[in-house]
Amino acid sequence: MSQPWMERVRVAQGFPKPSTDAAPTAVFLALFSVAALTNIFIFLRNNRRGHKFLFNGFCIGFCMARVVTTSLRLGWMYNLDNRGLAIAATIFVAAGVLILFIINLLFAQRILRGLHPHLGWHKAISRTLLVLYLLIPLLLVMVVTASTQSFFTTHPATAKADLNMQRGASTYFMFFAFLPIPIVTFALVYPKRNDPDHFGQGHFWLKSAVVLTASVLLTLGAAFRTSTIFISNNTSPPWYNAKWCFYFFNFTLEIIVIVLYVAVRIDLLFHIPNGSKGPYSYSREEAAEQEVEIKSLQRRSTDRTGHGTDTSRSPMGALATEDVEV
C-alpha cells in the first residue's frame, strides 16, 4: 500500500522492487560478505605475526557496512511502505563509501610524505588535511539529518533546505574522493629536494597507481551521485534513473576497489612503523629489520663456532648495536 511520504520522497533510481532489485542485491550481499571474510583472514594473519595494519580493519568495517546496506535494501523492497527501513537503507548507501574515501586519502598522504618527507610533514599541510578529515563526520551528521527529515516533512521550504544540505554534503564528498589525484600527481612530478622516505614493499609508482586507480573509480561514483541530486526529474525517466546505474556507480565500483586493495596487498604496500611521526620516520623500520637480521646471523655464527663475534669493528655490526629512533 502506497503511503503519502512515498509520493514526495525522492529516491535515487527509484524504489527497489523484488523483480528488478532482489537478484543484484543478493549478489552484492554475497560479494561483500566474501570480501569481509578475506580481509578478516588477512588482518588476523598479520596480527599473529606482529604485522599491524589497521586499514584491513577499515576495509572489514566498510564491507560489513555494505552487508548491512544490501540486507536493508532486501528488507525494504519487500516492505516498501516501511519508512524506517527506507530511511536506514538510504543513509547506509550514502555513508558506507566514506570509509573508502578516507582510506584512499590517507594512502595519498603517505605517498606525499614518503616522496617529499619535509614537505609532506609540514604542519600547514598536516593541519589542512586534518580539518578535511574532521569535516567528514560533521557533514555525515548533516546528511543523516536531512535525509531523515525529508521522509517526514510536508513543508516545501523545509524539503528544499534538506535537498540543499544533501547537495552541499555530496559535493564535498565528491571533492574528498577526488583529492588524492592532485596530491599523488603533485608528489610524483614535483622535483625531489631530499631522498625519499621509503615504506612498505613495492615502488612508489605502484603505490601511486593503486591510489590513483581507486580514486578515479570512487570519484566517478561520487560524481554520478552528486549530479543526480542536482538534476531535476520533472520529465520522463532519463538514463541515469535506470537500475543498472545504481548498482554500477555504487556497489560495482566499490567492490572493484576492495578487490584491488586485496589483490595488490595494501597491507604490504602501505605499511609504516607504529608511531611514525616526522620526516624519515617511515624508514626506521628498514633499520630495525636489518638489526633483527644481523642479530639472527650473529646467533647462528655463535651456535656454529661456540663463541661470539666481535661486530663492533664493522659498519654492519655498529648498526646492530645502535638504537632505532622512535
pLDDT in tens, 4-13: 666 677 777 7
pLDDT at 304: 58
- C-alpha angle with apex 27: 21 to 30, nearest 5 degrees? 135
Total Cβ atoms within 10 A of residue 326? 11
Q: Per-residue confidence at 72, pLDDT binned at 50, 70, 90?
A: very high
% of the chain residues with pLDDT over 70: 83
Total Cβ atoms within 10 A of residue 50? 6
Long-range CB contacts for residues 320-326, cutoff 8 Å, separation at least 24? 320/291, 320/294, 320/295, 322/291, 324/284, 324/287, 324/288, 324/291, 325/284, 326/275, 326/284
pLDDT at 51: 87
**Contact yes or no for 97/250 (Cβ under 8 A):** yes
DSSP state of 240: G
Q: Per-residue confidence at 324, pLDDT binned at 50, 70, 90?
A: very low
pLDDT at 241: 82
pTM of structure: 0.84
Q: Give the pLDDT mean for 264-273.
A: 93
pLDDT at 232: 64
pLDDT at 114: 94
Residue 279 has pLDDT above 70, yes or no: yes
Q: In terms of DSSP H, where are the helices of the chain?
A: 4-8, 18-48, 54-77, 83-95, 98-115, 117-120, 123-150, 156-178, 180-189, 204-230, 243-246, 253-263, 266-269, 284-305, 315-321
Q: Give the pLDDT mean for 48-74.
A: 93
% of the chain residues with pLDDT over 90: 60
**Contact yes or no for 35/27 (Cβ under 8 A):** no
The per-residue b/e assignment along 173-189, b for 16 or more CB within 10 angstroms, e otherwise, is bbebbbbbbebbeebee
Q: Per-residue confidence at 315, pLDDT binned at 50, 70, 90?
A: very low
For the four alpha carbons of 239, 244, 250 and 252, in that order, the dihedral sign comes to negative
Residue type (1 letter), 2: S
Could you tell me the three cell numbers for 201?
614493499
Residue 172 has pLDDT above 50, yes or no: yes
DSSP state of 104: H
Residue 310 has pLDDT above 60, yes or no: no
**Contact yes or no for 255/262 (Cβ under 8 A):** no
Q: Give the pLDDT mean for 252-278.
A: 93
